[in-house]
Homo-oligomer: A and B are copies of this chain.
Amino acid sequence: MKVQRGDTGKAVVVLSGGMDSTVCATLAVREYGAENIGALHVSYGQRTAAREKQAFAAVAERLGIQTRLAVETPFFRAIGGSALTDANIAVPDAGELIGHEIPVTYVPFRNAHLLAMAVSWAEVLGASKIYIGAVAQDSSGYPDCRPEFYEAYNLAVRRGTKAGDIEVVTPLIALRKHEIVSLGLELGAPFDLTWSCYSREDCACGVCDSCVLRLRAFEGAGAVDPVPYAPRLAGHD
């Protein structure tokens, strides 16, 4: 365990059940021990919520994390404004625009909600670290993945909590997607149980932003993604 002085020895991991959060959780388990980790999952009304929750439970089980909290935040659907939570906005196929502008799949200020839940739960559990698998490479698309956002949020956490000693850590933030895959393979992250697709729940669509970035990441790491993909239709590409 790499726990430092002043650390309570307990941590909360935000675990969607996707590729990045699973590698992040695997890392947290190595550093704190599964028995000292609380895994938090949030269903925010996204299209593939049921499939992601299933991935969360399977990943937590494989990693040996028994302390789990799965919460629902139906208000994101009421707020709307994102292709992930509003059935009237289609999830686009990945285009040339990946990384160049904020996509319609942006859920307004979503990570601030995930962090608020993690911090509230950490206060009750007595945890002093919160692991979140944010990746700066995504930050050109999602403003709440920027390292500067986490820096500011940590200041708010220090000032706004009873304990005052809770810190959000982002161990993957500086990595490229293929490096995350390599790290996960090295740590034995259960990639086979993860779910990343934005639009389908039976098998991954292979064409949304999330699928395309994931497939590229595995390719870049010289590995094969173990999850099943839908067969490509002729002429789709």
Contact = CB atoms under 8 A, between A and B. Distances in A.
Contacts of A80: 124
A90 interface: no
Contacts of A72: 74-75
Interface in A64-98: 69, 71-76, 78-81
A71 B81 contact: no
A108 B162 contact: yes
Interface in A50-74: 69, 71-74
Contact of A109 (B75, B123, B143, B144): B123
A183 to B, nearest CB: 25
A20 B160 CA distance: 19
Interface centre among A72, A116, A155 (most CB of B within 10 A): A116
B124 A143 contact: no
Contacts of A74: 71-72
A221 interface: no
Given A75-B117, A146-B159, A161-B143, A123 B108 contact: yes
Give this chain's copy count: 2
Contacts of A228: none
Nearest to A112: B116
Contacts of A153: 156, 160
A111 interface: yes
A235 B159 CA distance: 41
A128 B55 CA distance: 37
Given A113-B116, A116-B112, A79 B160 contact: no
A80 to B, nearest CB: 6
15 contacts: A69-B78, A69-B79, A79-B117, A79-B124, A106-B162, A108-B124, A109-B116, A109-B120, A109-B160, A112-B160, A113-B116, A148-B159, A149-B156, A149-B159, A153-B160
**Nearest 8 Cβ contacts at the A-B interface:** A71-B75, A81-B124, A152-B156, A152-B155, A108-B123, A149-B160, A108-B120, A144-B160
